[in-house]
Amino acid sequence: MSVINIQDVTVLANPANFTDPYVFRITFECMAPLAEDLEWKLIYVGSAESESFDQELDTCMVGPVPVGVNSFEFEPLHSIASQVCVKAIGACVHHLSLFISAHHLQAAAPSPSRIPPSDLIGVTVILLTCAYAEQEFVRIGYYVNTEYGDAELKAQYDASLEEDALRKCSMAPDPTKYVDKMVRSVLSDKPRVTKFNIKWCFIASQPELRDLSLPSLPASISSFPSVGGPEESSASVPPPFDPYAVKDPHV
């Protein structure tokens, strides 16, 4: 078991333009009073070839976290570390940053200049992670498909993939010139959830729970109530889910 149990993650504004921010609504249950905040991160995998193309879109500190069911929307602003104080469902969300509006935070899209041109179109992965006391305890991975929203560009790109494209001189559009015409779709119904066992520290009012390491858990499969069946596993060390293995654009 974990002190923090993710109950639901909803990807909002999906599909969206490539340049639009990512928005998540996250609901989780806190089983005991925690001494420190939770750190959420959103990471965009720029290429399956190397981690050097990964982009951390934002980091968000959430806390203090009350015992019970909590919910907030994660919409990080690029390169801005945000902090939000959440309350149990039914109460208002207080915010400690000018970049946070009521009930949500903001995260910009990845910088296309830091993505290899050949990887701008096709399938990649985004990772939503959460850590406590600098220990990552959950990682949620989603496949993201990016394609041209413009019908003419899409037809030109599809023609370049045909077997006789070379004979017909069918050339794919230069993706670096048409970033504003790209659309993305997060495959939100098939997240991959990986859990890691960490050491939890609790507030001093409950000394018997102040320092706790959870035992190792066997791998398991479960799902969020409203997401529809993500794969989930437990591990002592990360990561069983390898985002850099994404190569097939038809996944």
Residue extents of the structural domains in the chain: 4-117+125-143+188-236
Distance CA 86, CA 91 (A): 9
Name residue 233's beta-bridge partners: 194
Decide which of 3.20.20.30, 3.30.2010.30, 1.10.10.10, 2.60.40.1490 is the CATH code for 4-117+125-143+188-236.
2.60.40.1490
pLDDT tens-place values along the chain, 251 residues long:
689 999 999 998 899 999 999 998 899 999 999 999 999 999 999 999 999 999 999 888 888 888 999 888 776 554 334 444 444 443 333 332 223 333 354 578 999 999 999 999 999 999 999 999 999 999 999 999 999 999 999 999 999 888 776 666 668 899 999 999 999 999 999 899 999 999 998 765 544 444 444 443 333 334 443 333 345 555 544 444 454 444 443 33
Q: What is the rounded distance in angstroms from the CA atom of residue 175 to the CA atom of residue 135? A: 38
Q: What is the pLDDT of residue 122?
A: 96
Residue 88 CA to residue 82 CA, distance in Å, equals 20
Q: How far apart are CA 63 and CA 191, in angstroms?
A: 25
Cβ within 8 Å of residue 97, ≥6 positions away: 80, 82, 83, 84, 105
pLDDT of 161 reads: 85
Q: What's the confidence (pLDDT) of residue 217? A: 37
Long-range own/partner contacts, residues 208-213 (CB < 8 A, 24 or more apart): 209/32, 210/35, 212/3
